[in-house]
Amino acid sequence: MSDAEHVIVGTAGHIDHGKTLLVKALTGIDADTLAEEKRRGITIELGFIFMETPGYDKQIVFIDVPGHEKLIKTMVAGASNINIALLVIAADEGISLQTREHFDILQLLGIEKGIVALTKTDLVNEERIRELTGQVKDYLKGSFSEDAPIIPVSAVDGTGVDDLKYTLAELGKTVAPRPDSGIFRMPVDRVFTLRGFGTVIAGTILSGEVKEGDRVEIFPDGISVKVRGVQVHHQKVGRSILGRRTALNLQDIKKEKLHRGQCAAEPASLTPTFRLDGRLRLLKSYEKKLKNRTRIRLHVGTAEIISRLVFLEDDVLLPGKEALVQFALEASTVALPGDRYVIRTFSPVMTIGGGEILEAAPPKHKRFDSQTLHGLQKLEGDIAEAAEQVFIDSGFTPLSASQVRMMRGEREDIVEKTAENILKAGNIVKIAGYKETKYLHMQSYAKLENRLISFIKNYLGKNPHRMFMPYEELRSKFLRLTDIQTLKTVLDGLLEKRTIQRKGSDVSLADYEVKMKPKDQELIQKIEGVFKRSGFAPPLEEEFRLQQGVDLKHFKNMMHSLFEKGVLVRLSKKVVFHRESVESARKIVLEQLEKNQHITVAELRDKLKLSRKYATAILEYFDAIGLTKREQDVHILR
């Protein structure tokens, strides 16, 4: 089948006003002929009819849905792909209650172009047609169809049918190609089995494409399946794209696992949720105020879900007014920002409002929270505002442009360019260390900087004798907030700004100095003096502590302070030298290496006149810091 652009025409109107006969007159196809459906094999669904238009570079497709229930459940699914609404009004009956309700739904679904067909004109006179035309014009004032063509037709004698065909084709020329995120998504509105083929699902592709052999995921159930075959317009094809009514023959899955309301999509591209955020408009025709926590029926995609309606700005919503809301769902579903929805009363069932999804997997919101309301208003803005708000909402979790693309259902190149612009404006920070570039909003980044500094301050406050906080302890605390790549980026940033300092891997505040009590300072000086005078024969730490009568914890703090300052150096678990002794040993080792190219433990022992234990500790320490390396029984210059 050709990839000619589709112009999808959604019919609406009272069940007895002649929609099906009109579509048959336009296309030559009876949407209610079940035998025809069986003859064609894998069909898509009753009511999706293609009109042949020779010489026309687009393909006009009718969604002809008999009955009010199917109008809602089918049209909501394809709303983002319906280009033109064809409102059908019987000339002998005029605008009925269901006509008004159907037209309300068309407006709630955000459809922008319309045509009105006055059917059954063979049953009335010219005066009645003129009268009804005037009534319809008045009714449509202020709507998207205010300037819509109103065409009298008769499916019985053919009056006006050619005019309607011509008008549809002309209006179709003004339909711009829809933006495509490139991420395959198709809400499932029909499931059936066919002998020789197996399980088949059908729906309208809202974005991306699907090919024979692709793996798709059935959301929200997380079922992974392979596409055995694809059919469009009653023909087997290699692939199907945005806007197409499509049937997918699935491999190795039972019909019982599939149902209307699911969504076939690119694997891992959607997030099942029990909450949705949106802007809701209540119809004027409802004539009642809607209260917070009202139980309603939410129609989004092809799903109907019982939900609680949580008002975020007020306690009630009046007819004809709008509000930011959160839907608390009783079953999980999937959606994307920009998806249209309709709500209906729980019982008795009637359409009362609808709107657009703003966030598809939000947290539970606190009502009347100004920050939440401001964030949702930004999500209603352009792509730059919405994308920045996504980064804000992600908190301490860095996001890539491709992740934002998935969350917003936008084209990848647009989101990447938007992220670059937000970065240039200084509102997001690049987090290094990932395979793909990720970003954190500056608000979150600044909070993480402050948290890191506070971790260090708190540690130093609790350990007044220590100059540095061990990196592993800082890492442990920080990773409760975010990941290791973000920790490294924040650390490097603070080091570059000279807000903190580092010794090895341990960290401290810039210019921080340990402030000791006079008694502690006296003990520090005594310890340093003893190890300095001891040279290459230092005392054992525990023996020295007992001689001085110092508490173990306090002594360890004093020793750690001397290690941090580099006054004392731990060569091994039980050997500690003063730094001057280490430097003297280093010079002697280098002299010996320059002379003989190697040195042994015995040679160093004899040279320094110390025990083998200390000579071994010195050479192993120099190996550890990279000055020397051991080869068999000798140590050479590294």
Q: Which domain holds residue 503?
A: 444-509
What is the chain's percent helix, strand, coil content, to nearest 5? Answer: 40, 30, 35
Q: How far apart are CA 220 and CA 56, in angstroms?
A: 39
pLDDT at site 78 = 55
Q: Is the pLDDT of residue 44 over 60?
A: no
Tokens of 590: 């280098």
pLDDT at site 34 = 42
Q: How many CA atoms lie within 13 A of 171 on its CB side?
A: 24
Same domain, 277 and 348: yes
Long-range contacts: 507-510, Cβ < 8 Å, 24+?
507/456, 507/468, 507/469, 507/471, 507/474, 508/456, 508/460, 508/467, 508/468, 508/469, 509/453, 509/456, 509/457, 509/460
**Tens digits of per-residue pLDDT, 225-275?**
999 999 987 789 999 998 888 999 999 999 999 999 999 999 999 999 999
DSSP letters, 317-339, are: E-TT-EEEEEEEEEEEE---TT-
Tokens of 583: 């430097």
In degrees, rounded to 5, the angle at the alpha carbon of residue 557 between the alpha carbons of residues 556 and 558 is 90
Q: Is the pLDDT of residue 456 over 90?
A: yes
On whether residue 1 sits in a domain, the answer given is: no
On whether residue 415 sits in a domain, the answer given is: yes
**Tens digits of per-residue pLDDT, 78-97?**
555 688 999 999 999 999 88
- Produce one character per residue of 341-370: b if its CB has 16 or more CB atoms within 10 Å, e if not: bbbbbeeeeebbbbbbbbbbbbeebeeeee
**Tens digits of per-residue pLDDT, 465-489?**
888 999 999 999 999 999 999 999 9
Same domain, 363 and 498: no
Which residue, 509, 535, 558, sits at the end of a domain? Answer: 509
Distance (Å) of CA 368 to CA 75, 291, 315, 565, 576: 33, 15, 10, 54, 63
Residue 622 pLDDT level (bands cut at 50, 70, 90)? very high
Residue 426 pLDDT level (bands cut at 50, 70, 90)? very high
Q: How far apart are CA 438 and CA 485, in angstroms?
A: 10
On whether residue 368 sits in a domain, the answer given is: yes
Residue 72 pLDDT level (bands cut at 50, 70, 90)? low
Percent of the chain's residues with pLDDT above 90: 66
Mean pLDDT for the chain overall: 89
Same domain, 122 and 207: no
Q: How many domains does the chain have?
A: 6
pLDDT at site 36 = 42
Nearest to 437 by CA among 446, 428, 445: 428
Q: How far apart are CA 500 and CA 593, in angstroms?
A: 39
On whether residue 84 sits in a domain, the answer given is: yes
On whether residue 314 sits in a domain, the answer given is: yes
Map tokens 């459906």 to a residue. 37
pLDDT at site 318 = 97
Which residue, 480, 509, 538, sits at the end of a domain? Answer: 509
CATH classification of the domain holding 293: 2.40.30.10
Q: Is the pLDDT of residue 309 over 60?
A: yes
DSSP 3-state assignment of 256? helix
Q: Is the pLDDT of residue 42 over 60?
A: no
CA distance between the termini of the chain: 72
pLDDT at site 257 = 97
pLDDT at site 32 = 52
Look at 48-57, 97-106, 164-173, 468-477 and tell me which has the smallest mean pLDDT.
Answer: 48-57
Backbone angles phi, psi at 192, to 5 degrees: -155, 170
Q: How far apart are CA 501 and CA 511, in angstroms?
A: 8
On whether residue 433 sits in a domain, the answer given is: no
Same domain, 165 and 51: yes
Which residue, 248, 265, 282, sits at the end of a domain? Answer: 265
pLDDT at site 80 = 56
Q: Is the pLDDT of residue 43 over 60?
A: no
On whether residue 437 sits in a domain, the answer given is: no
Same domain, 613 and 571: yes
Q: Is the pLDDT of residue 380 over 70?
A: yes
Same domain, 325 and 390: no
Look at 232-236, 317-321, 571-575 and tell me which has the smallest mean pLDDT.
Answer: 232-236
Beta strands in 470-537 (DSSP E): 500-503, 506-509
Q: Is the pLDDT of residue 41 over 80?
A: no
**Tens digits of per-residue pLDDT, 381-407?**
999 999 999 999 999 999 999 999 999
Same domain, 231 and 142: no
Same domain, 244 and 280: no
On whether residue 180 sits in a domain, the answer given is: no
pLDDT at site 1 = 42
Host H or E run for residue 48: strand 48-51
Same domain, 282 and 382: no
Q: Is the pLDDT of residue 76 over 70?
A: no
**Tens digits of per-residue pLDDT, 578-594?**
999 999 999 999 999 98
DSSP-assigned letter for residue 599: B
Same domain, 17 and 79: yes
Residue 289 pLDDT level (bands cut at 50, 70, 90)? very high
Nearest to 92 by CA among 165, 11, 23, 18: 18
Q: How far apart are CA 562 and CA 366, in angstroms?
A: 52
Same domain, 531 and 573: yes
Q: Is the pLDDT of residue 135 over 70?
A: yes
pLDDT at site 79 = 57
Same domain, 362 and 377: no
Q: Is the pLDDT of residue 69 over 90?
A: no
Tokens of 81: 């792909």
CATH classification of the domain holding 73: 3.40.50.300
Assess contact for 153 and 133: CB atoms under 8 A: no
Overall average pLDDT of the 306-324 stretch: 96
